[in-house]
Amino acid sequence: MYFVDRSVAIIKPRQPFLDWLTSVAGDDMVDLTLDNLRADCTALLVPEYDEPEEAVAWVDERAEQLFRQELASWHEDEAAWPADRSLMVFWQWFDVEFHSLVLDSVDEPIENSPALDA
């Protein structure tokens, strides 16, 4: 195993995200629950931090981009996205869980590919 010079942020949708998603998806998501939605979430490698406030500040600086990526991963029609994607709304719609220790347990190189350009 190898230490990785990154930390992790896990973006977990909250009830307002689920409410929006079920309103735009109609019958396709009728059985989706918040627990289901939060069971497999986006995990981001973020810069290492000494204090949790540093990780929060990193997310704050990218909140609009992260918000767009989360919306796009579930519903591509931007016209259906909420108009207000401000920092305050981001934190109302998502919890972010931070972890400072990352270990790579695979003895193969990490392959990179571009993320969604949302």
Dump pLDDT digits (tens) for 79-111.
Answer: 999 999 999 999 999 999 999 999 989 988 888
Q: Is residue 114 domain-resident? A: no
Domain that holds residue 94: 2-104
DSSP 47-89: E--SSHHHHHHHHHHHHHHHHHHHHHHH---GGGS-S---HHH
Per the structure, the count of domains in the chain is 1
Q: Is residue 110 domain-resident? A: no
Residue 27: is its pLDDT beyond 80?
Answer: no
Cβ atoms of 15 and 95 within 8 Å: the answer is: no
Q: Is residue 24 domain-resident? A: yes
